[in-house]
A and B are shown apart, each in its own frame.
Chain A
Amino acid sequence: MHRNLKLKLFLFFFLLFATISFAFLFPRLTLPFGFAYIIYLIAQPLKVLLTNGSGQQRIFFFMLLILGVVFSMFPLFAAFYNIDTDFSKFSAQLPELQKNLQDKFFIFKVHVFEKIGYRINIDPVSFVVRKLEKQGALLLAQIPTYLSSFFEWMLLVPMFLYFFFFQSKKFSQKFLRSIPNSIFEKTYVLTSQFNTKFGEYIIAKFIEATFLGTIVTIGLLAIGFPYPFVLGFIAGITNILPYIGPLIGVLPALLVALLSQDPHVSILGMVLIFAFANLIDMVLVFPLLVSKVVDLNPIIVVVSVIVGGQVGGIVGMIVIIPFIAFFKLLFQEIYKDLSVQL
């Protein structure tokens, strides 16, 4: 290979390595950048609708979008107001819940003593409450840090969004120009496939979470279960995590049901609603939206989620799946190439 071509190849990989290292070293920049990218990906279908078709069709979709935004504002504000109210109510009832939990544990201790004559001397409820208070104090002490990072995000996310919507095309053209000829075709096709897979996965998960959250909220509202908006919101968010997400999502609702003294609160009803929502997700939403994007073995998915969680926390658990799907593609390509060369 010509000396200049070798140098170009070396420079390209050096810059790639430097960029990846920079992303890992400065998560305060990488995380809002990733968040802005996810919003950009979610907005992509709108871009297709607004750029496709005749002028009249585009005007129609634009008007529809404006109407949709205006009308969705009311339920959105109402939902946020309800979530806020639910959280306030939940906080106000915490001392009562603590007393209730202590009473129930006391009954359990008496029951154990009467049955087997063993006196339980530990007090796990007070221990957990003390731990929670300590964590709460730590959280309070960290509020200025959270606030500063919140303001940082408020500044950075719109800036990155502007970049993605208006500058990314020129940037990607320049990036593509810098790829050496010998690896251009493959790199371009693989990065395009990764972008498509990642985008489709994020959109599919977003729709899936909205769908599940809405079903759970409506169901809990219908049976008069407390905090329907908070629990629906949590169920939607946790559902983003494959396989283990639905299990985590039902835990807060189960806790509320166990601690509630209201006779109208039905654990069975709540469990049935969560089961129904997850059934709809498994039978309808997942096969139609997600499985087409992520064609992976369930065991690989579970292991990947655990590894992703250990490496990158919640964000790692979410983004690991499209990465694994991409690596599968990459290995398939390498395998194809090797099989031809043999």
Chain B
Amino acid sequence: MSYEKDMMEKNQRGEVIPDKLDIPLLKYLWDASPLSFGSSKENYHEFFKKISVLNSFSDNELRLFSKFLHRREFITSEVIFRQGDSGYGFYFVFQGSVNIYANHLNPNKDDLGELIIRLDQRQYFGEMGLLEEFNRRSASVVAAENTVVLGIFKPDLEKMLEFYPVLGAKFLRETALIMANRMGHLTREVMSLKRKIKELEQRV
């Protein structure tokens, strides 16, 4: 929760608002100020606040997290990565949308295969590339329109863990949760497929 919201709620509840600001808050305000040194015009803070998996991040953590991201712009139909490429990064769709394709028959051919899903703003993809040591992309991602994505890569995660270990650990936990959710979904899919195969076998 942001400091402003916290203060407003305290005020509404009739609680006493502290008349002194503590140092970490002052530091946050100083760092977050657009006039302060080193501030970036690109403030992704508001964008990340709306992403559910990053709910546990505080305002200051989101501000620090956004410093590790790379903004990449893609034109319509431009390939973000191909199935079988080495994967090193995790992407958030900042503007626009992307299509995910998988070619199950000839995974290393130029043919992108069939469309699996379309991801819109605030959705994410490629988290396996960040965690696996030797990752191969399991699908191709193509910009469906002019798209801006924010990517975080292995060296950024290493830097984050070195300079901001708490933030790094929190981000890893969230990425692990995303993976766990995907694994859960995958397990349910496999179970349902097995059930269907059994039903088909019984019918035959």
**What is the interface of chain A, defined by CB distance below 8 A to chain B?**
2, 4-5, 48, 51-52, 55, 176-177, 181-182, 184-186, 188-189, 192-193, 196, 333, 336-337, 340-341
Contact flag A2-B162 (CB < 8 Å), given A189-B154, A193-B155, A340-B108 = no
A341→B81 CA distance, assembly (Å): 15
Q: Does B55 contact A (CB under 8 A)?
A: no
B residues contacting the other copy or chain, number (CB 8 A)? 28
Contact indicator A188/B153 (Cβ below 8 Å): yes
Contact with A along B72-98 (1 / 0, CB 8 A): 111101111100111111000000000
Q: Could you jot down 24 A-B contacts, CB within 8 Å?
A: A5-B78, A52-B162, A181-B72, A181-B74, A181-B78, A182-B79, A184-B70, A184-B72, A185-B85, A185-B87, A185-B88, A185-B151, A188-B70, A188-B153, A188-B155, A189-B88, A189-B153, A189-B155, A192-B154, A192-B155, A196-B155, A333-B86, A336-B134, A341-B108
Chain A residues near B84 (CB-CB < 8 A): 340-341
What CA separation (Å) do A188 and B153 show in the bound complex?
Answer: 9
Bound-state Cα–Cα, A101 to B23, Å: 72
* Cα-based distance from A55 to B61 in the complex (angstroms): 16
| Docked CA distance A55–B24 (Å) | 9
Residues of B near A48 (CB, < 8 A) are 162-163
| CB–CB B86/A186 < 8 A | yes
* 4 tightest A-B CB contacts, nearest first: A192-B155, A189-B88, A185-B88, A340-B84
Chain B residues proximal to chain A, CB less than 8 Å: 23, 70-75, 77-81, 84-89, 108, 134, 136, 151, 153-155, 162-163, 165
CB distance from A312 to the nearest CB of B (A): 28
Indicate whether A51 sits within 8 Å of B163 (C-beta atoms), given known contacts A336-B86, A337-B86: yes
A/B pair count, beta carbons within 8 Å? 56
Main secondary structure of the interface of A (DSSP, over half): helix
- Pick from B23, B80, B87, B155: contact of A181, CB under 8 Å: B80
Distance A319 CA – B81 CA, assembled complex (angstroms): 34
Q: Is the CB of B163 within 8 A of A185?
A: no
How far, in whole Å, are A333 and B135 apart by their CA atoms in the complex? 12
Report B-chain residues with C-beta under 8 Å of the C-beta of A196: 155
**A4–B78 CA distance with the chains assembled, in angstroms:** 11
Cβ contact of B70, chosen from A52, A176, A333, A341, cutoff 8 A: A176
Contact in complex: A2, B70 (CB < 8 Å) = no
Q: How far is the CA of A188 from the CA of B84 in the complex (A)?
A: 19
Known: A48-B162, A193-B155, A336-B86. A185 touches B81 (CB 8 A): yes
* B88 CB, nearest partner CB in chain A, Å: 5
Closest to B156 in A: A192
Contacts of B134 in A (CB 8 A): 336
- Are B81 and A2 neighbours in the complex by a CB distance under 8 Å? no
Give the chain B neighbours of A176 by CB distance below 8 A: 70
Across-interface contacts of B85 in A (CB, < 8 A): 185, 337
Q: Determine how close the nearest CB of chain A comes to the CB of B107; give it in whole angstroms.
A: 9
Measured CB to CB, the closest approach of chain A to B10, in angstroms, equals 25
